[in-house]
Structure 1
Amino acid sequence: MSWNEAALSTCTSSTSGTLTLEETTVHAPYGPVVRQYEYRGAWVIAAAGDYDLGSITALRQALHTAARRYPKVVLDASAVTFADSTFLNLLILTHQMGTLRVVAPSAQVRRLCEITGVDRFLEMRQTIEEAAAS
């Protein structure tokens, strides 16, 4: 069974004050998790786990769909525990498609961006609120 076949998708909606939150979580019994929701006009994608050629599909689909639909995409990379050149390539392609902000990248993601020079053109922020406002 492929990762996509094993993936479970959960959608919830709630309204609290002026913020409407639509959240989608895609996860498999083993592997990375991708959560998505709208925050102040930006589409936020929170990625967690290891990302390589064999596990990037859900994140790739989420980022490409978001880049086509929203003027600003925010990637929360604080819980990414491993990322290889596949992940890095996805960041570059998403950046080229529109406005991408990377929030609180994990030490591993930050190091990958620094040694490849990608940190010079990707916009990194400390918080989701800061990324949505920029």
Structure 2
Amino acid sequence: MIQDVFVYGSLMPGCNNYPVALEAGAHSAQPACLEGYELWHLEPEGYPALRPGRGRVRGVLLRYLEVAAALPLLDRLEGVDTDPSEYRCVIETARLADGTPVRCWTYVYARKDRLGRAGARRLEGERWEGGRRGAVN
């Protein structure tokens, strides 16, 4: 069973929504990357969007003992059940720093139309730097 969730934005340790990840039961976090994706930054929303692409995204694998209990809480945060859905939860393979592949859940931005509008910009780097607790985005 898949017990890990790859996060790349506000759910990472030190970011605004990390307490939600802990509330959902995350008990460890390891640096990881996801190939075949790119990051976008959305304003005025102030958070990132993960989309399929040619790049690599650096983030963190959060490990859950009860991922089935955690996903509904994370789905609500990510707007999976909104109309239209903001993100969709998919299974992917991330890589740990030593190259070990890990099957995981991750949230892919579902509103492709939003990326063509003002306030959406593709990030050049592999990591999203916004959302730090106490920081102004």
Shared fold (TM-score greater than 0.5)?
A: no
TM-score band by shorter chain is: under 0.3
| Higher relative contact order, structure no. (Cα contacts within 8 Å, ≥ 6 residues apart) | 2
